[in-house]
Structure 1
Amino acid sequence: MHYGPGMNSHVTTRGGLLPVMLAIGSGMLAMGVALSALPLELQSRFACGTTMIGLIMGIQSVATVLSRPRAGRMADRLGGRNTLLCGLLCTACSALAYSLALVPVLPPAMQQAMIVAGRLAMGLGEGLMVTGGGVWAVTKVGSARAGAAMSWVGLAIFAGLGLGTALGDEIEAHAGFGPLCLVALALPVAGMGLTVILPASVPPRAGGQTGGPAGGIRWKHLIGHTWIWGLTLGLSAVGFAAISSFLVIFYAAQGWHGGGWALGAFGAGHVIARLAGSRHVDRDDVRPMVAAIMLAEALGLALIWLAPGPAWAVAGSFLTGLGFSLTYPLLALPVLRQAPPAAAGSAIGLFDVFFDIAAGVGAVLSGLLSGVAGPGSPFAMAMLAAVAGCVVMLARPQGMKGGGRGS
């Protein structure tokens, strides 16, 4: 399939995607700003317990999972830019709902309802931003650079989320939740302004058939193209879930200090791999590279699980970030190549669902396993999942490598 003229230069690709990255980054910054402050706000203002806080925070993930297919269909019909624009609007509405929760004349139950509404809006916005931004990026640079496009979009997502979390901590500590809501509102509004002034790329059209998510494409055919790559992505995402949810807890259980540094090492490995590897992901057969980086992820998780001291755990976290970083763009590439052009957004939306489900289920299983087998057990589970991903890629027949549409 082909989306536009394509660009051969890595620098040109990155420059052409910079506005898209800034627009996505603005929404993810807003998400991170609120993410770091909401649990404390729920605890201090409404005296919510940990179970209720977990439910309220988890509502966003449910909304994101449910929004992915709809976001894909919207990207196929309206184009990636307009879908991203709708996602930024939902993100701004989320911050507005958080602001309404501060209105003193509202009863506490209504204030909490506003926060729940904000979480739902943020989940919808995340699905629209990620899927729409990915499709728009691929449309801008062409299918020859699709892997690099997805890699740079992913960098904008994770960098925005990480920086937003740090920014939210500082704003909450020095100014409070009210100014934080204003920042979370201003960021996506600025992203919307940038997105509106950029030209929209024309999405590919189907040949007039009906009966599927985009023209004549049926969901069962998209799932057939997507499931093996999505399954592998999900196996890789278990490690992300274990580290993001339980690495700090693991450090505390071992009596170590510096769990935040270990999380930072994961983020550093992720960013370094994206910066160094984005020019190498566009290849005919992604299986060997996916198997290699998932093996690196498995080794990093094993280092954490067996770490005799905090320095080993930091090294393992860094190696896990290196391995996990490029799984998404590499595995998204055959999904885009196998899906008909008019259904690219729907295919990516379905592909993203595998990540969402694996991250959520991985976090739950990590918690259950940690309570039964100790705080290091989630990393052993994630290591086995990454090894299973290697096996899936190595066992996939050469003739089914996803090198082109219909393969």
Structure 2
Amino acid sequence: MKEESKSIWSITPIMISVFAIYLCIGMALGVVPTLIKTQLHFSALIIGAAMGIQFIATLFTRAYAGKIADTTGAKTANQYGIVIAIVTGLSYLASYYFKDLHLLALGILFIARILHGISESLAVTGALTWGIGLAGQQNSGKVMTWNGIAMYAGIALGAPLAIYLASSLETGYVFGLMIVLPAISWLCTIKLPKLPIDLSHRRTPFYKVIGHISDQGLALAFSSIGFACISSFITLLFTKENWINAPLAFLTFGGFYILTRVFCASFPDRFGGYKVAMVSFFIEITGQLLIGISSSEAMAIIGCSLTGVGFSLVFPALGVLAIRKVSPQMRGTALGAYTAFFDVSLGIAGPTGGIIALWFGYHTVYFFGAISAALSMLILVVKSKK
């Protein structure tokens, strides 16, 4: 038990590094839309395109990030991502510097967003693969759990921090900090050892890796829709119902999400990914249905809390099952493919939820989330019997 705890603590620098990377992502979310709207004077459509292009860049570089992690080393993939993150910060700063030349600044900003997506893909795929390799596959659930805490905490703190700095100083300081943070991320992990690479191993094509982990990937994709529904539509639901505590809904979702990961980090490794995932789906379904039928903001907030608890361990629980289907030499590729399902889900859930809300109202969006989580449960049940 002491050796296990020691192995987990040994990857703390990687988790700090991931936190710094996602702090930058959160900071960009806090200031880039305002920069485009108020200083570059472009429309909401352009804002949406600029924010969405990072997601596209991340999605389409997952396979490359996994290949780099497997063939040149997880540490190398992580460091490539960090270097690109530094260049990203410089690009943001250049865009701000040329803000009076609106089209030029926008062009540089789009380049920065693309680079940000690529850096995220490399840095995080490398970090996950590196952490599991150092801590051991028996601790893979814990590694993914703590990695997720670092990611969500970074995004949650980054946006308000950036807004505060931009209002009290100016946006340029935010982008300057986004150059410094990746450098700190690099320094945190520079002394950690590299993982051995087996260059003689015959690599499985990426499309075959997707096929191997598609059960877990699809279950992850459907279960992520509930999270997307809360992040995209809970404020609008509260506004429509004249409820005033929408920030509390976000806070309880995020708080219970993090608390569950902190106190239940060992569950996927101890009880198995399948059992943890099934219980998580049930809790998430209950939370989504409670929001869907809510007649008061208290009911909706409790539903958000339950969704946070349920969704919290889905990624590590299914991830434990996914990486067991591939050899250690293909772990980075498998994690890249697995995470891509999450990317696709978030990209599809928003527009689909918007159409549902337009035709049937905001409450119905959460029935969509509940049905999606139920499909995740069904996928695991059916596939486990084969």
- Runs of 4+ aligned structure 1 residues displaced above 4 Å come to 7-10
Q: Match for 2:37: what amino acid? A: Q
Percentage of matched positions with identical amino acids: 26
Amino acid paired to 1:81: K
Aligned counterpart, 1:223:
210
Question: Does the CA contact (< 8 Å) of 2:33 and 2:47 recur in 1?
Answer: yes
**In 2, Cα distance between equivalents of 1:13 and 1:270:** 24
Report the AA paired with residue 105 of structure 2: Q
1:197 aligns with 2:191: yes
Aligned counterpart for 1:207 among listed residues 185, 193, 200 = 200
In the alignment, does 2:111 pair up with 1:121? no
Q: Distance in 1 between matches of 2:127 and 2:342?
A: 17
Instruction: Identify the residue that residue 366 of structure 2 maps to in structure 1.
Output: 379
The verdict on how the C-alpha distance between 1:96 and 1:173 changes in structure 2, with shifts beyond 3 A counting, is: same
**1:76 to 2:63 alignment:** no
How many residues end up aligned between the 2 structures?
386
Which residue number corresponds to residue 45 of structure 1?
A: 39
Q: Give CA-to-partner distance per residue, 1:189-217, whole Å, 9 cap, x none.
A: 111122223222224x1535xxxxxx332
Q: Give the Cα separation in 2 of the matches to 1:220 and 1:184.
A: 35
Aligned AA (1:302): L
1:308 aligns with 2:289: no
Q: Does the 8 Å contact 2:89/2:179 carry over to 1?
A: yes
Q: Counterpart amino acid of 1:332?
A: G
1:308–1:193 CA distance, 2 compared to 1 (3 A)? same
Give the deviation of 1:135 after TM superposition. 0.2
1:26 aligned onto 2:20: yes
Superposition map of 1:8-407 within 5 A: 11-104=5-98, 107-203=101-197, 205-208=198-201, 215-283=202-270, 285-398=272-385
Question: Which one-letter code corresponds to 2:291 in the other structure?
Answer: I
Distance 1:248 1:10, change over 3 A: farther
Secondary structure, aligned partner of 1:308: coil
* Aligned partners of 2:59 and 2:343 also within 8 Å: yes
Q: Distance in 2 between matches of 1:206 and 1:228?
A: 28
Cα shift at 1:303:
1.3
Which secondary structure state, in structure 1, belongs to the residue aligned with residue 96 of structure 2? coil
- Classify the secondary structure of the residue corresponding to 1:255: coil
SS of alignment partner, residue 197 of structure 1: coil
Residue 8 of structure 1, CA deviation: 6.0
Partner SS for 2:362: coil
Q: 1:85–1:195: 8 Å Cα contact kept in structure 2? A: no
**SS of the residue aligned with 2:204?**
coil
| Consecutive unaligned residues in structure 2, runs of 5 or more | none
Query: Residues 40, 394 of structure 1: CA spacing in aligned structure 2 closer, same or farther, 3 A cutoff?
Result: same
SS in 2 for 1:294: helix
SS at match of 2:266: helix
The residue type equivalent to 2:138 in the other structure is A
Q: Is the 2:8–2:139 Cα contact (8 Å) retained in structure 1?
A: no
Range 45-54 or range 10-19, more displaced = 10-19
TM-score, structure 1 normalization? 0.91
Indicate the larger mover: 352-361 or 88-97: 88-97
The two structures have a TM-score, normalised by structure 2, of 0.96
* Alignment RMSD: 1.7
Aligned-residue offset at 1:11: 3.4
Letter in 2 for 1:57: M
Give 1:223 shift: 2.0
Structure 1: distance between partners of 2:167 and 2:296 = 32
CA distance in structure 1 between the partners assigned to 2:119 and 2:265 by the alignment: 26
- Specify the SS of the correspondent of 1:361: helix
Query: Matched residue of 2:97: which SS?
Result: coil
C-alpha separation between the residues in 2 aligned to 1:378 and 1:90? 37
In structure 1, the gaps of 5 or more residues are 1-6, 209-214, 401-407
Match for 1:94: what amino acid?
Answer: T
Shift of 1:181: 0.7
